[in-house]
Amino acid sequence: MPDERSRPPLVSFVSAGPGAADLITLRGLQRLQRARVVLFDALTDPALRDHAPKARWIDVGKRGFCDSMRQAHINALLVQWATREHGVVRLKGGDAGIFGRLEEEIEALQAAGIPYEVVPGVTAALAAAAAAGRPLTRRGRGRSVALTTAVATDARGQPVLRSGRSADTEVFYMAGRQLAALGRRLQAAGWPDDTAVMVVSRAGCADQLVSDHRLHGLAAAAVLHSGRPTVVTVGVGAQALGQARASADCPTPAGLNLHHEVSIIADNSAAGAASTPA
C-alpha cells in the first residue's frame, strides 16, 4: 500500500449542510475525520470540530454586511495548505455549489495543478422546506424551483436587490435585511399580492423559526427574523399542504383569507413535533 504522503495533494470541498452538525453527509464526515487542515465557513456548526480534533482549523468565514476575509486571500490559503499538507478540507455551509463561491476556489486549485473533489450536501432551501414539512415541488402545479441570492453586487461593487418570477417556486437566500424591499420588488415582478410566502431563519438549527405570510405583508417578517440567517420561499412551495389543491377544487371567495397574515408555525427550540429539522 502506498504511503499517504506519496499521494498527490487533494482538497475536499465538503458541504456541511445548514444548521446542525448532523446534517453533514456520511461522505463529508469521512473526509472531515481524516483531515489535517480544515478551512471553515462562518455558518458551519462548531460541533463539527469534534470529528477532527487533531486537525488545524482555520476560520475563513464570510458574513453579509460584515468585515470578512477577501476571496482572493481564501483562494491563496487554500492553495498554500494544499501544497504543504495531504488531507485539506474546505468546509462550506449548506451545499458548496449553491452560493458558496465554489467556482473561484476550484479555479485557484486548477491553476496550481491541485486535484480536488466536491462532496455535495443539503442546501438551505431544502432545510427550510423540511422545517415546515412542505415539499418545494408539488405534483401537477409546482414543477419548477428557482434558487436566487436576494442581494448581489453591481459593477461598482454596490449591493443590488434581485427578484423575479421565473418558476412556480422561488427561493431567495440572504434576504433577511431586505424583506420589505423584496416584497415590493416581487409585486413589481408580477407576483399577486396574496401569494404565499414562507420565511425560515436558522434553518436546520435547534432554534429554527418558520413563519407564514402573504406577499403584501412580507415586511412583518423582518421583526420576527431580525439578525438571523434567513431564507424566503415564494409561490407554490410556500403553501401549506392542501392549500393549493383546496383552492383549485373550491375557489376562495374574494376577500376571504384562509390563513392569518402572520402565523408562527414552529419555534423549534426543542426540535419539536411541529417541524422537522432539515
Active site residues: 41, 62, 174
| CA 11 vs CA 16, 59, 86: distances in Å | 15, 16, 8
Task: Please state the length of the chain.
Answer: 278
Q: Distance (Å, rounded) from C-alpha 76 to C-alpha 58?
A: 13
What would the grid cell of residue 199 be?
Answer: 420565511
User: 3-state DSSP call for residue 34?
Assistant: coil
Q: Is 219 exposed, middle or buried (0-12, 13-18, 19+ CB in 10 A)?
A: middle
Q: Distance (Å, rounded) from C-alpha 135 to C-alpha 17?
A: 18
Q: Which residue has the cell 426543542?
A: 270
CB distance 195 to 254 below 8 Å: no
| CA 167 vs CA 150, 170, 186: distances in Å | 15, 6, 13
Q: Distance (Å, rounded) from C-alpha 87 to C-alpha 32?
A: 9
Phi, psi for residue 252 in degrees, rounded to 5:
-75, 130
CB distance 200 to 177 below 8 Å: no
Helix (H) or strand (E) segment spanning residue 129:
helix 124-132
